[in-house]
Structure 1
Amino acid sequence: MIILEEPQKSLYVNNRLLEKRYLRTDVLGETNETPDDMFRRIANIFSSAEEGQISRNSHVVNHDSYYNLLASLDFLPNSPTLLNAGTENGQLASCYVLPIDDSVNGIGDALKQTMLIHKSGGSTGFNLSSIRPAQDKVGGRDRVAGGPIGLLNLLSVTADYIKQGGVRRGCNTALLNLDHPDIVEFIGAKRDPGRLTNLYTTVSIKDNFMDRVTSGSELPLVNPRNGQTTATVSACDIFDLIVDQAWRTGDPGLTFIDTVNKNNPIPHLGKIEYMSGCGEEALLPFESCILGSINLVNMLKKELDGTFSIDWQHLSQTIPLSVRFLDTAIDLNHYPILQSELISRRTRKIGLGVMGFADMLIRLGVPYNSDKALGIAEAIMSFVQDIAHETSHKLALDRGPFPAYQGSVYEFEGITMRNASVTSIAPTGSISLIAGVSSGIEPLFGTVFVRNMLDGEKLLEVNPFFERVAREQGFFSFALLERLVSKNRLDQIEGVPDSVKKIFVTAHGVSPEWHVKIQAAFQKYTDNAVSKTVNFPREASRDDIAKVFALAYQQSLKGITVYRDQSRSEQPLCTGEEGIRLVHQRYEYRHECL
């Protein structure tokens, strides 16, 4: 068994990210806020809101409780809350979805709303299925429609023009129903890797499509303008096109929309047809959601023998406070669009998730691709789900249920709830970096890799726990780091003990089936959706992609995203020659490989 001592956390990447994106600046652009100031700013506004609640009991969360929750990194909310809480902006939600009417006015309204959301720091999701196909008749004799692909280009330009919260490009998700006449063009919209780089595309798939693929039958394509069938195509051919394009660039992903709606807690408000930024939230038109994640690494305790175990008591104390934080954020949020405020306050959806799962497993000495990891995933998320629901129920008794409660699944079950949905697994790209832990529920991308930061800066990341074990067991060297930053496959490196290889398994060393199994384990106890990417090595085949798509459907996932290494020219986490240079720059200067 590997016994890991707690390494000293490096704040280099964390502080750099905070300074570039989150900390307040003066009129000259100079940072005038520390991380501690940021957490106090957020705690101040949230504790003040708690004190202003009309409550049936005297319990409110004070400043110190919220400050300690954040400053300890036990829990972090989504980026807009870190950026905007306690400021004039005040927009706290990460996810918004917008409907687009098939008209000039409808498209114009959606573009304006997108700009307002991006300016405030939010991301947007769209379903383009109501847009008539390209070259379809519009008004007069000689006028034809630009179709969903033309609209994709408009959305991309809008996102490029407006930085998200003033610090980064806007993030969009575009979804199209599989029976749209322009589905083939949509599937291939990102064939050129230099186009639509700020848009994630996903195809909305119904159960009968997967049945058609299995049986080899035809799929009718229907014009949304008049409901008429324009053509029939082979379901297998469409599936193969999706697989091929996902193999080439990672887009599109799949959204299993029937599964999404089977788990819709508020069906009386309509079917869900929209997915948020990274696929973690299925939302109604104009609906938004505020996300936050519990740091699982901090939910461990060290035993007398030096090993780690899950601190269930600490976790049970962190969950209720996190739920209260997110629920309070709904009332504090400055919504950029009135329609979003009305529907979001009516359903009061929040998304409490987790981050640092892979790092937690490493400390526990459990391989990511193991039955024991599946058991831990289910145990953790079922625990989070139960206590989060219990907290939402208590808040409903205290503050009242969400306004759309009557007619909901919860009313039918006789359970009073403050929030229509409570849990969701987000990718946590930025906040996991602030916390210094692995992203969401993903495996480690690598033990040594290069992170492409803002403004083109590249930073070397060496997993601190791996470095400590490598030093203690005597196999830490320049040569090892060079091979790892070039190859990113610890399991293929000679001289590393098998026990270490098993515990520090990285994304490309985890089979696609295990990626899906872990996602399914978390989805089983998650109200909304789970954002996760199935990472493939560069040599993966199209058949490998197809098998994962089929398995995701069989496992009742709400969506699936894949990415084959180096299938895009620029990716946020990478390996290569630049990594070797950074390895020498860091370790030669500090003389640490001697």
Structure 2
Amino acid sequence: MTETRGTKQKASSNGKAASTAGKPATAVNGTAGASEATVAAVADGGARSAGESGGTTGSGKAGGAKPAGPRIRRRNTTAGVHPYDQVTWESRDVVMTNWRDGSVNFEQRGVEFPSFWSINASNIVTSKYFRGAVGTPQRESSLRQLIDRVVRTYGKAGREHGYFASAEDAEIFEHELTYMLLHQMFSFNSPVWFNVGTPAPQQVSACFILAVDDTMESILNWYREEGLIFKGGSGAGLNLSRIRSSKELLSSGGTASGPVSFMRGADASAGTIKSGGATRRAAKMVVLDVDHPNIVEFVETKAREEDKIRALRDAGFDMDLGGADITSVQYQNANNSVRVTDDFMRAVESGGAFDLRARMDGRVIETVDAPALMRKIAQAAWECADPGIQYDGTINDWHTTPEAGRISASNPCSEYMHLDNSSCNLASLNLLRFLRADRTFDVEGFVYAVEMIITAMDISICFADFPTPEITRVSRAYRQLGIGYANLGALLMACGRAYDSEGGRTLAAAITSLMTGTAYRRSAELAGAVGPYDGYARDVAGHRRVIRKHAAANDAVRSVHTEDARILAAASKEWEKCLTIGERNGWRNAQASLLAPTGTIGLAMDCDTTGIEPDLALVKMKKLVGGASMKIVNQTVPAALRALGYTEETIEAIVEYIAEHGHVVDAPGLRPEHYEVFDCAIGERAIAPMGHVRMMAAVQPFLSGAISKTVNMPESATVDDVEEIYLEGWRLGLKALAIYRDNCKVGQPLTDVKGAKRSADEAKAIAAANAAPAGGAVAAPAAAAHRPVRRRLPKIRPSQTVSFTVGGAEGYLTAGSYPDNGVGEIFVKMSKQGSTLAGVMDAFSIAISIALQHGVPLETYVSKFINMRFEPAGMTDDPDIRIAQSVMDYLFRRLALDYLSEEQRAELGILTAAERARQISNQYGGSPADADLADLADAEPAGTPRARAATPEAHAAHGPEFVELELRSAAPGQSLLAQTAVDAPLCFTCGVTMRPAGSCYVCEQCGSTSGCS
């Protein structure tokens, strides 16, 4: 549970939030309004003003000539007015608790945020990104301090290394960057917020790729380097294919151990660092080439461990996520991927043989049947979601620096792919911030934002610290960047486009092309000012070839709507400028773009969807001031309905229907041809697995790197289905792919009890129909008048009294029961005898008691009274019911726990603390890292709330999209989305089930993440 209270509001000088609407487009070099003459002057290194700092070499070191940096023009800000003075600020209290035991995980009061930031975003930023010990003067307490710490560091470094033409340009840069961060238009990756401007090493990169050779020194150094990277809050990946297989001999005559054996040591190291609780938990990727002689052992490793987990769990061992026995299983802290070649994939298609080769001399160790090996890969992925697959041919065909070495591995989430011993710092744009009120995309604003972000990201390499000397050397020599975006799913829905449609894919492709074209164009301009990356001279031809491939892919996209054509036209101009300026200046960065999972930063930007993912579900949780929460229909749904031309009355009816049913099928007034617009990752109309693959294929040609994305598959999917997706990913030109089949992991924590009951009822109905006399109808029994009969309790009956406290109000509940333990009466004592409250509670108790004795089921009352909201409300002294929304909510939850069966309560979403703990324990025979490639179930979990319309006051205050659910989640503090994220790991910080973000996981309550961003 998270508590955040708004206390006082502090207005700015004008008291109004700034708006970008109607402002004139301004730009930096190479954008609208900037002349080629200016660009040429930058390229030629014009004179700088007296007293200004010098230029840099390609590696970012000061010295030598002092070329003029680019001019920067204002777009979002006003000269003489600081961005902070254009918004209204308010003070909030952040108290974050563990839903399992109510203990406080984090508390900081009096933090300052803009009024338009959500409670959830301010909670996450406060707890994750504010630096300094809580309770000390050094602790940050305002978003201003956080942004200033980062922006001023970037500004200072930009001045020192020649990135600005004048002091005025530097100030504009700082103001514009501040504005975009303040208004959640983009975010740097988490290590920037953790480290920049603090006494800690200035590690800015989230993604690292390591190298390991076939020597004991290199293998032990691998363990050490991973530990250093994890300590800094980042993740690492590497390819183990250089290590000799267990089928090869050592120089001493003995047999090599093989890479899989060395994975055990690295896995144990990562598990230790993870449990030590650094900035966030360890994240890692292990890759093995498909022609390695130990490839079958590698493929089956995690599937075999999954069998072990099941056996240990069934034997009674503690296989919970931090349980005493979970360390007895191995290989659970990494994502595994097989690196396949084009030759292997062609052999799979043709049914041919494939050679597995020795690591030292390349001789053939074994020849295998290619389709059989692919079948083993698909079988293992079907069983436990590992391994994923990486397509070596496509990856290296889009490699900008082939002379520097092949790309052999990726970061943990598979989006960053480049040289060994390299790193990449990430930043992601919030696409929904660029959707105008008329539902057109703000091309000019988007281009400007990309320019500013690329400039800032490149500056960071000048001052960044790296964990090893070799990573420092390669990162400074190639300056890899990873700009990307979040909220694509929400953007498409808001535009009235289905995720799995030509229109959806075309819009995504156009925006991605515009982003990368602008990023590389800006990189070429920076190369003119401060020099190309050091490795560029060696790979001029290779880099130019890849840029031309990107531009050709842009020209091949066919627009579906006029809006697509407009964005594609802008992208074409950017690629044209990119080629022209780049051929003159070179490029400052070997890589520019990718699509990260955007876990924590997506929540901090108030994004509805992460990365390239579609909407998870049509209903989600919204946190409210005061610590309460309500579940609402996603705010993008009404926007989508307006885009499709529906009236406000029809929109309200459709929204209320979605709140009640969780889907749009048969919604009143909604045309069937529009159903696809509201398809989500899970639910009644879940997007087909191949729909995810096609979306990835649409945007991949416009990314320097790859995409963090897991393809969701239903439990009914077959091994053939997995194999077909892996083959189709290769045919469509993807670089990497991971799948997750619902329920393939041990201990799915929530099951569809309602669905199970429906199935049982259906089975009974079918059996009854089959038993009917042939050729005739079943005679209906004669209707008999029914009158309820009161069943009085005996003179002496068992009873129990529970004392309780709800929000500081004390009371007593006495429940009397029949000898068969069915409750038959209640007495509620609150306040003094003779008071109004005491009289009302007495009358209420009598009414409920008489109804119970006349046969009204207790569960009927429970379903009606839980979640009733009024004061007093808040924390209770009951360990099974930590928070109650009212006295009535508490009373009937307590009665349910005491008198209803676990199955009945599970359907209502009411469990004891012990039952919740047992659910969690049953969930984890796997580990959180193993679940990094996991995703969501299609089935509705037990306790999934059924909705009712919000109160008229809620409608008036929030609009029809705010529809409160009647039943709250099975575990206090968990969102509806968290409940549906079956097999997701539990958050190490607060214990709440995490939700997918690309191929990683993020906690919606506190922002902890299992991978990048």
2:370 to 235, 243, 250: 235
Counterpart for residue 361 of structure 1: 492
* Counterpart code for 1:206: T
Moved more, 536-545 or 575-584: 575-584
Counterpart for residue 676 of structure 2: 502
1:51 to 159, 162, 184: 159
Deviation at 1:146, TM superposition (A): 3.0
Counterpart for residue 185 of structure 2: 74
Counterpart for residue 11 of structure 1: 118
Cα distance change on mapping 1:302 and 1:56 into 2, 3 Å:
closer
Moved more, 16-25 or 246-255: 16-25
Cα distance change on mapping 1:25 and 1:226 into 2, 3 Å:
same
Moved more, 576-585 or 130-139: 576-585
CA–CA separation in structure 1 for the residues paired with 2:287 and 2:595: 20
Matched, 1:474 2:474: no
Counterpart for residue 487 of structure 1: none
Matched, 1:548 2:725: yes
Structure 2 unaligned segments of length 5 or more: list them.
1-114, 310-329, 545-582, 623-628, 642-648, 749-922, 924-930, 955-962, 967-1013
CA–CA separation in structure 2 for the residues paired with 1:224 and 1:42: 46
Structure 1 unaligned segments of length 5 or more: list them.
1-7, 452-457, 485-489
Q: What root-mean-square deviation, in Å, do the aligned CA atoms of Structure 1 and Structure 2 show?
A: 3.2
* Counterpart code for 1:322: I
Q: Deviations over 1:326-364 (max 9, x none)?
A: 111111211111110101100111011111111111111
Aligned length: 570
* Counterpart code for 1:26: A
Contact residue 498 and residue 504 of structure 2 kept, 8 A = yes
Cα distance change on mapping 1:480 and 1:56 into 2, 3 Å:
closer
Q: Deviations over 1:473-532 (max 9, x none)?
A: 32556x955754xxxxx3667768346632221124222332222111211111222222
Deviation at 1:138, TM superposition (A): 3.9
Structure 2 residue matching 1:562: 3-state secondary structure: strand
Counterpart for residue 744 of structure 2: 567
Contact residue 126 and residue 275 of structure 1 kept, 8 A = yes
Deviation at 1:208, TM superposition (A): 0.4
Matched, 1:104 2:216: yes
Contact residue 169 and residue 198 of structure 1 kept, 8 A = no
Deviation at 1:105, TM superposition (A): 1.1
Moved more, 19-28 or 537-546: 19-28
Moved more, 123-132 or 465-474: 465-474
* Counterpart code for 1:441: I
* Counterpart code for 1:444: D
Counterpart for residue 448 of structure 1: 619
CA–CA separation in structure 2 for the residues paired with 1:522 and 1:309: 20
CA–CA separation in structure 2 for the residues paired with 1:436 and 1:499: 30
Contact residue 712 and residue 739 of structure 2 kept, 8 A = yes
Matched, 1:162 2:336: no
Cα distance change on mapping 1:273 and 1:295 into 2, 3 Å:
same
Contact residue 450 and residue 579 of structure 1 kept, 8 A = no
CA–CA separation in structure 2 for the residues paired with 1:530 and 1:573: 16
CA–CA separation in structure 1 for the residues paired with 2:383 and 2:542: 46
Cα distance change on mapping 1:448 and 1:182 into 2, 3 Å:
farther
Contact residue 659 and residue 965 of structure 2 kept, 8 A = no
* Counterpart code for 2:158: E
Counterpart for residue 4 of structure 1: none
CA–CA separation in structure 2 for the residues paired with 1:122 and 1:345: 18
CA–CA separation in structure 1 for the residues paired with 2:383 and 2:353: 25
Cα distance change on mapping 1:11 and 1:254 into 2, 3 Å:
same
Q: Deviations over 1:147-201 (max 9, x none)?
A: 2222222222222222498232111011000011111111112213464333111
CA–CA separation in structure 1 for the residues paired with 2:694 and 2:718: 20
CA–CA separation in structure 1 for the residues paired with 2:372 and 2:510: 40
Cα distance change on mapping 1:585 and 1:505 into 2, 3 Å:
closer
Contact residue 56 and residue 399 of structure 1 kept, 8 A = no
Moved more, 358-367 or 426-435: 426-435
CA–CA separation in structure 2 for the residues paired with 1:84 and 1:461: 36
Contact residue 131 and residue 140 of structure 2 kept, 8 A = yes
Q: Deviations over 1:114-150 (max 9, x none)?
A: 1111111221011010112236444555x54332222
Contact residue 184 and residue 606 of structure 2 kept, 8 A = no
Moved more, 192-201 or 392-401: 192-201
CA–CA separation in structure 2 for the residues paired with 1:337 and 1:393: 28
Deviation at 1:251, TM superposition (A): 1.4
Counterpart for residue 848 of structure 2: none
Counterpart for residue 524 of structure 1: 701
Matched, 1:37 2:128: no
TM-score (norm 1): 0.88
1:463 to 618, 631, 634: 634
CA–CA separation in structure 2 for the residues paired with 1:217 and 1:554: 18
Counterpart for residue 373 of structure 1: 504
Deviation at 1:22, TM superposition (A): 2.2
Q: Deviations over 1:306-331 (max 9, x none)?
A: xx111112112111001111111111
* Counterpart code for 1:38: L
Identical amino acids, percent of aligned pairs? 26
Counterpart for residue 530 of structure 2: 399
CA–CA separation in structure 2 for the residues paired with 1:13 and 1:342: 39
Contact residue 267 and residue 408 of structure 1 kept, 8 A = yes
* Counterpart code for 1:258: G
Structure 2 residue matching 1:246: 3-state secondary structure: helix
Q: Deviations over 1:218-245 (max 9, x none)?
A: 1111121443322111100110111111
Deviation at 1:271, TM superposition (A): 1.2
Matched, 1:333 2:464: yes
Moved more, 237-246 or 165-174: 165-174
Contact residue 232 and residue 279 of structure 2 kept, 8 A = no
Counterpart for residue 845 of structure 2: none
Give the greater-gyration-radius structure (CA).
Answer: 2
CA–CA separation in structure 2 for the residues paired with 1:26 and 1:56: 35
TM-score (norm 2): 0.53
2:351 to 216, 225, 234: 216
> Superposed, which structure 2 residues align to 1:54-133 within 5 Å?
54=162, 57-58=165-166, 59-60=169-170, 62-89=173-200, 90-133=202-245
Counterpart for residue 255 of structure 1: 390
* Counterpart code for 1:447: L
